[in-house]
Structure 1
Amino acid sequence: MSLRDHLFADPFKVHSKDENEQEEEEDITKANIVNQQPPATKMELWGYYLYYNGNNGFTIFSFMPNILQYLATLSGTNPETGGSCDIQNALLPCNVNWMNNTSIPVSTMMLYVQSIAFSVQFLLFTTFGSLADYGRWNRYILLTATIIACTTQIIPIVLVNDDGSHWGIMMAIFIIALISYGTTLVFYGAAFPTLSDNLPVVRKARSSNQLSFKEIENVIEKWRNHVSAISTTWSNIGFLILTAVLAGPGFIAWNPQSMLGDAPIYNFICTVVAGGFWILNAIPYFVFQPRGRQGLPLPPGESHLTIGWKSIIQALREAKKLRYLFMYIFSYFMFSDAVSTIGTMMTIITGEVTNFSALQSTLFGLITAVTSILGCLLFLFLSKTFGISTKTNLLIIVALTSIIPLWGCLGISLNNFGFKTTWELWAQAAWSGLFTAPIWAWQQTMLAELTPKGKENLFFGLFGIVNKASSWIGPVVVGAISQSTSNVWMGWPFVLALFVVATIIVLFIDVDAAKQELADYENSINSTTVATRSITSINEKMEP
């Protein structure tokens, strides 16, 4: 099979039916009625890909943090001299007033901001996460979060001429942007299993009388890997398009001494462009999603405000029946926190090493975008060519990503190595693209493999809750470490330890046993449902 066939196989190319397949086609139709899900269309799938093309996260992890860090530094004071901070040498100490007028380093403030945003996300997802299992709430929540996220990316332009005195306003904007962005990721991810499972090629396999259970599972896993990897690739393509478009103007002469890319205004311009780019890419998904793509009706007597908490309790009660799923969720708790903290720490370190140069950040992003696309396609190709399992791919990716905190640990005692120089930032940008970007595709596929049918939003919501519950822990711990030591590099050993624990847990997950566990669970749920319906039917007939 050619490289093109491996990476760009068509899930809508189903063999023409003959008389022997007529019965299978009828089964597909019946399954559609039972599942209340229409088949996926090409426009829906491409809309899904394009959404992630726009929602590539570049602004959230580069320009917006740069703006906040820059404005806070303008407003800050050097604790050693008592004077203003040196904006031309961001590696020097710089403190800002925090709660109760406590003076803390700007880097610590940045970490605490991340923690606040993730804590709010935790509360929101706990309350509303599983609501997306019902009706069209997934669509409504994703649409609302997208509008808020795009708006908050554009708004910072009003602070373009600020002297730093309103850095608190930028902090509030950034927190809202982080919350809405995180919400879009969770509900976008929750839509993925339903979409991939209703591709024509998958629906045909599910209805086939000629395929064994194992063969059907292989087809499902193959196309879940495909959709997840290609959607992540499109996210990185959007990342590449943005960085390529924005890098060019960065070299325009801004004044005799510098280029536009080194001027503070460049960060503000880039956030506007990125917000508009996301809006344009998001529209097709909401336009072309079939109206029948929805969950079950909200159960009678349930409240929108309480069903989330009830669903979480329900999910936790299933821990004994789905022990491998919960082992994986716990491991994800670890490496998600580690990856999120790496992103935050590298943003802070890059700002300090480059003196908040947006052009440098854009060029680093350009390298990451290119290598991210290569990394996603590489692991997808290896998976399809050599039959490498989702678990093995995930282990390889997590292990290689852990090199980053190991590298950062060297910066604790060295002054010229351990992310202390520009060339190391170039190397980290490439490494992160190749081996960190694919982690989001394979962690999502792994979860989809272990999640019960019809409960995707519940467990993806729980996944999102675990993500946000963990994601504030890393920044808080590293923030506390950097506050007490005035050295953000001291946080790298903690991040490395998270990777080690997560890897050990994933190693002990038996995927085959997990799938059998899942099948037994689904059968028990279906049996209970049938029994309940039978009892209800009998009672109705006995009523006068």
Structure 2
Amino acid sequence: MDLTGRYGSVEEASRHRQNDDSPANKRTLSQTALVEVISVDDTSVNTESGNPLKEENMNEWNKNQVFLAWLFVCFSTGPTSSMIKVYIPAVIQSLSHALGHQKNSQNKCTPRGDNCYVSFGGTDVQYSSYVLYLKAIYTALEGLIAIFVMAFADYSSCRRTMLAASVIFFGLLACPFAALYKESRASLISVSVLYCLMLIVETVYQIIEGSYVPIFMIAASQKLGQGAPSRESGGVALRRGSKVSALGLIMGNVGGILSLIVGVMITHIGGSSISADYRNYLIAITVAGSMTVLIGLVSVFFIPNIQGRALKIDSSGSKARVFLMLPFIKLKQITEDVWKYKQVMRYVIAWVLWNISFSNFLSVIALMYRSTLGLNSSNAEYTVWQLMGNIVALLGSLLWMLVYNWQCRRFSDAKNVMLIKQSLYILLFFGWFVNFWGALGANPNSVVGFKHRWEFWTGLVLFMSTSSAIRSLNRVVYSSMLPKGKENQFFGLEIMLGLLTGWTEPLIIAAISDRTGNLRLPYVPNTILFTVATVFFYSCDIEAGMRQVAKI
């Protein structure tokens, strides 16, 4: 599985120029320094396989204790991640409702319905749309952060430190929430800023965490290659990848479930008054942040560090300039890589579109649940509803992993690829159907479309169980088609594309619900987006993508 030729076009050209001392060549090197002086030092990677794992470190990554430590890191971020999705948007919605007024009047907002507007950027916006506007604005900023992270992470020899810093900072940002209980403009702004900072830090963590999936897969295939035919390594890597990806998400869900159980206990013990319910959400967020800091701090340092790719810079050029331009250079190179690996390009487009639709669905249904059933009367039930969503998400990932691994052992690599794609189509259908069901509710005369309690409970079960399995599956399939040694870049690309383009969909659905006052209408464009993503998934030849990078 020699992929050293993958890097030949840039590296060899650079080495040839460095060996040529002619004035003409020096001028050429100077002119192209910002693109071609960046090369990989072959001593920093396993030159026989072209991957970032040295031979002596390979067995270390196959040790159970390393895998367990990585799972505990995934577990540690679960509590705070669940707060971002569950309680923090609810807190912002509650604060906006408390500070808002009915449209074209100064009357206080009613407990139910969408006729509630709050000041945002010098104008009044619908109070649920306030959360969606925040998400749209800061999603674009997250995209810029992703560009820098994906550029430097592969060259860094302190990836573990970056992982630890992102996990700990992620938890620390959640800790101040318990002090922000006053229904004031200052509290709303503080919660909004902390929410957006947490989203940005979570992006950094997701890029680094995702890059560990192919590393575990590479270690598994290398171990097999020592005493077994190479043709078997594709199936072994897929099985290992499915376990790493699914169990990582499952542990995150377990952490989220644990924090939500704490939240349910706090909410029910705290009483049913409006102020108590609202403050209990904030206490639960702070508890979750503390859990992330403590568990992450202990577990992350049991993960082996990874030797980064060496960055060689021409001595005649400006190092500061090269470092500043590195993110844009890598963005250009990764764009060229994606164009070369056509199947990866199709899959990453599908994944990005699906992920935008997935995120928008969860944002809208959570806000709509409370506004439909009553902002104050549904607080306690909301915690149980979201807890149930995390539980079925865990079961969805676990069931897919068990069924796929059971089937995967019985067939060839080509058959396994076909199975993974068939399971993807089945899972996508359920997600599309739930979005379509929500779109039916956009018609005011429709009697269904998330207008009744049973629809919210049934819809969340179907959507979360299948979507969680899709998330596991996506990371496995994507990892199986990546060129070795550039995992951070390609996982950063997926997140970056999602963030750079993902702000448009939240902005559109926020504008739609803001202008129309109909929070179900955004399900129409979301269903269309889900359909387009499904078409791209169908167009991707996974087996061809794996063969192109010699992983099957």
TM-score (norm 2): 0.82
Query: Which of 69, 74, 78 is 1:52 aligned to?
Result: 74
2: CA distance between counterparts of 1:483 and 1:251? 33
Q: Is 1:298–2:311 an aligned residue pair?
A: yes
Q: Is the 8 A contact 1:116 1:175 kept in 2?
A: no
2: CA distance between counterparts of 1:169 and 1:149? 16
Deviations 1:214-248 (A, max 9, x none): x1111111111111111111112222222223323
- Cα offset for 1:92? 3.9
| 290 and 38 in structure 1: CA distance in 2 versus 1, 3 angstrom threshold | farther
Q: Is 1:361–2:382 an aligned residue pair?
A: yes
* Residue in 1 that maps onto 2:420: 390
Q: Is 1:190–2:208 an aligned residue pair?
A: no
2: CA distance between counterparts of 1:240 and 1:51? 15
* Residue in 1 that maps onto 2:439: 409
Deviations 1:7-33 (A, max 9, x none): xxxxxxxxxxxxxxxxxxxx99x9964
Paired residue secondary structure (1:97): strand
| 203 and 342 in structure 1: CA distance in 2 versus 1, 3 angstrom threshold | same
Query: Which of 279, 300, 303 is 1:289 aligned to?
Result: 303
* Residue in 1 that maps onto 2:528: 497
- Cα offset for 1:49? 0.8
| 349 and 517 in structure 1: CA distance in 2 versus 1, 3 angstrom threshold | same
Question: Partner amino acid for 1:298?
Answer: L
- Cα offset for 1:34? 5.8
Q: Is the 8 A contact 2:477 2:542 kept in 1?
A: no
Query: Which of 253, 259, 280 is 1:236 aligned to?
Result: 253
Q: Is the 8 A contact 2:58 2:223 kept in 1?
A: no
Deviations 1:267-316 (A, max 9, x none): 1111011111212331244220224x232123325644322221121111
Query: Which of 313, 323, 330 is 2:349 aligned to?
Result: 330
Q: Is 1:449–2:480 an aligned residue pair?
A: yes
| 195 and 384 in structure 1: CA distance in 2 versus 1, 3 angstrom threshold | closer
Query: Which of 31, 54, 65 is 1:43 aligned to?
Result: 65
Q: Is the 8 A contact 1:334 1:502 kept in 2?
A: yes
Q: Is the 8 A contact 2:266 2:284 kept in 1?
A: no
2: CA distance between counterparts of 1:407 and 1:237? 29
2: CA distance between counterparts of 1:165 and 1:276? 24
Q: Which has the higher mean CA deviation after the structures are superposed, 105-114 or 348-357? A: 348-357
Residues 138-177 of structure 1 aligned to structure 2 (within 5 Å): 138-164=159-185, 166-177=187-198
Residues 261-272 of structure 1 aligned to structure 2 (within 5 Å): 263-272=277-286
2: CA distance between counterparts of 1:31 and 1:126? 21
Q: Is the 8 A contact 1:128 1:304 kept in 2?
A: no
Q: Is the 8 A contact 2:175 2:285 kept in 1?
A: yes
Question: Partner amino acid for 1:47?
Answer: A
TM-score (norm 1): 0.83
- Cα offset for 1:392? 2.7
Paired residue secondary structure (1:160): coil
2: CA distance between counterparts of 1:117 and 1:392? 36
Q: Is the 8 A contact 2:260 2:383 kept in 1?
A: yes
* Residue in 2 that maps onto 1:274: 288
- Cα offset for 1:425? 1.9
Q: Is 1:220–2:242 an aligned residue pair?
A: no
Question: Partner amino acid for 1:180?
Answer: V
2: CA distance between counterparts of 1:117 and 1:361? 26
1: CA distance between counterparts of 2:401 and 2:108? 51
Q: Is the 8 A contact 2:53 2:307 kept in 1?
A: no
* Residue in 1 that maps onto 2:519: 488
1: CA distance between counterparts of 2:468 and 2:189? 31
Q: Is 1:78–2:102 an aligned residue pair?
A: yes
2: CA distance between counterparts of 1:417 and 1:478? 20
Q: Is the 8 A contact 1:324 1:510 kept in 2?
A: yes
Paired residue secondary structure (2:520): helix
Paired residue secondary structure (2:239): helix
Question: Partner amino acid for 1:384?
Answer: N
Q: Is the 8 A contact 1:482 1:490 kept in 2?
A: yes
| 317 and 36 in structure 1: CA distance in 2 versus 1, 3 angstrom threshold | farther
* Residue in 1 that maps onto 2:268: 251
- Cα offset for 1:415? 6.3
Number of equivalences: 483
- Cα offset for 1:319? 3.4
1: CA distance between counterparts of 2:158 and 2:151? 9
Paired residue secondary structure (1:79): coil
* Residue in 1 that maps onto 2:361: 342
- Cα offset for 1:178? 1.4
User: Which blocks of at least 5 consecutive residues in structure 2 are unaligned?
Assistant: 1-47, 409-415
User: Which blocks of at least 5 consecutive residues in structure 1 are unaligned?
Assistant: 1-26, 523-544
Question: Partner amino acid for 1:192?
Answer: V
* Residue in 2 that maps onto 1:96: 118
| 193 and 248 in structure 1: CA distance in 2 versus 1, 3 angstrom threshold | same
| 51 and 244 in structure 1: CA distance in 2 versus 1, 3 angstrom threshold | same
* Residue in 1 that maps onto 2:126: 105
Q: Percent identity?
A: 20
2: CA distance between counterparts of 1:429 and 1:247? 18
| 358 and 160 in structure 1: CA distance in 2 versus 1, 3 angstrom threshold | same
* Residue in 2 that maps onto 1:115: 136
